[in-house]
Amino acid sequence: MIDSDTLASRGFVVAPGLIDPAECRALAGLWPEKPRFRSHVVMQRHGFGQGEYQYFAYPLPERIEALRQALYPELAAVANRWNAELGVAKRYPPTLQGWLKQCHAGGQKRPTPLLLHYRAGDYNCLHRDLYGELVFPLQATVLLSDPAKDFSGGEFMLVEQRPRMQSRGEVVPLNQGDAVIFAVNERPVKGSRGFYRTAMKHGVSSLHQGERFTLGIIFHDAA
Ligand SMILES: O=C(O)CCC(=O)C(=O)O
Ligand SMILES: [Fe+2]
């Protein structure tokens, strides 16, 4: 399902067509169903950008629960490879259930999958999705809208800060249903004397027109 080697070596990868267009529309269509969500954030109130998002409540919609469970094992393998490269002892359990048990025992119990909604002029500032001490180092964002029909602008962006070097930016082009899988916070990069850490942030450039929905799948729960 995922090109793990590309993900491990570049810090991000696109999984094309992870969700089909009808399902994308159905997931975006959950936006007005208030009881499905535990909280609603207006980004401009917090200086996060402009636009809105909502965190799903448990139990997650079936499709999202299934996707979170299905993606986790491959990503945990990459996360464990990264920790080995960085000389970090922590290893992530092989299943999402095992990992969430650790989160919940550590007081991080609130679900983090979210639906984001942008209109013309909206944007998402470069950020990291950290919600406590416990961090799963990879996350996925699925583009639910169709850039050929629904909106223009609104590009998914990644910026990597390398130690003592200038930041490098990447725009990740996505079609409807594509997922971008990327480092939440940090990742190892191979240098001449072993691996070093770089810091990653992600965001979305301004929407020029239309409406854009995305689904964010984060694997650590929130405090
Ligand atoms: O809307 C996007 O493409 C970015 C969403 C985001 O920040 C996330 O999924 O964590
Ligand atoms: Fe995010």
Mean pLDDT of the chain: 97
Is there an atom of ligand 1 within 6 Å of 129 CB? yes
Can you tell me which atom of ligand 1 is nearest the CA of 118? 1
Ligand 1 atom 6: residue of nearest CA = 216
Q: Is 112 in the pocket of ligand 1 (CB under 6 A)?
A: no
- Residue 76: the pLDDT is 98
Contact (CB, 8 A) for 204 and 156: yes
Distance CA 50, CA 67 (A): 27
- The whole-number pLDDT of residue 173 equals 98
Report helix, strand or coil for 98: helix
145 lines ligand 1 (CB under 6 A): no
Question: How far is residue 53 from each of residues 49, 143, 172, 192, measured CA to CA in Å?
Answer: 11, 14, 21, 42
> Which atom of ligand 1 lies closest to the CA of 202?
7
pLDDT at position 1 is: 78
User: Residue 153 has what pLDDT?
Assistant: 98
Q: How far is the CA of 214 from the centre of ligand 1 (A)?
A: 7
Is any ligand 1 atom within 6 A of the Cβ of residue 204?
A: yes
Quote the percentage of the chain above a pLDDT of 70. Answer: 100
Q: For residue range 125-175, what is the model confidence (pLDDT) as tens digits? A: 999 999 999 999 999 999 999 999 999 999 999 999 999 999 999 999 999
Task: For residue 35, give both structure tokens.
Answer: 């009881």
pLDDT band at 223 (very low <50, low <70, confident <90, very high): very high
Of 144, 204, 207, the one to substitute when testing ligand 1's pocket (max ligand atoms within 8 A of C-beta) is: 204
pLDDT number for residue 53? 98
For ligand 1, atom 10, which residue shows the shortest CA distance? Answer: 216
Going by C-alpha positions, the residue among 111, 113, 112, 114 that lies closest to residue 51 is 114
Ligand 1 atom nearest 156 alpha carbon: 3
Task: Say whether pLDDT at 58 is over 90.
Answer: yes
How would residue 93 be classed by pLDDT, with cut points 50, 70 and 90?
A: very high
What sign results for the dihedral spanned by CA atoms 199, 108, 85, 171? negative
> How many Å lie between the centroid of ligand 2 and the Cα of residue 48?
10
Establish whether residue 54 lines the binding site of ligand 1, counting it when its CB lies within 6 angstroms of any ligand atom: no
Closest ligand 1 atom number to CA of residue 180: 3
Cα 51 to Cα 96: distance, rounded to the nearest angstrom:
30
Q: Name the residue ranges covered by the structural domains of the chain.
A: 4-217
User: Is residue 178 in contact with ligand 1, taking CB distance under 6 Å?
Assistant: no
Name the architecture of domain 4-217.
Sandwich (2.60)
Over the stretch 29-46, which tens digit does the pLDDT of each residue have?
Answer: 999 999 999 999 999 999
- How confident is the model over 79-85, as a mean pLDDT? 97
pLDDT at 37: 98
Average pLDDT over residues 105-126: 98
Q: Residue 120 has which token pair?
A: 């013309």
Q: Tens of pLDDT along 4-30?
A: 999 999 999 999 999 999 999 999 999
Q: What pLDDT shows up at residue 14?
A: 98
> ipTM score here?
0.99
Question: Does 156 contact ligand 1 (Cβ within 6 A)?
Answer: yes
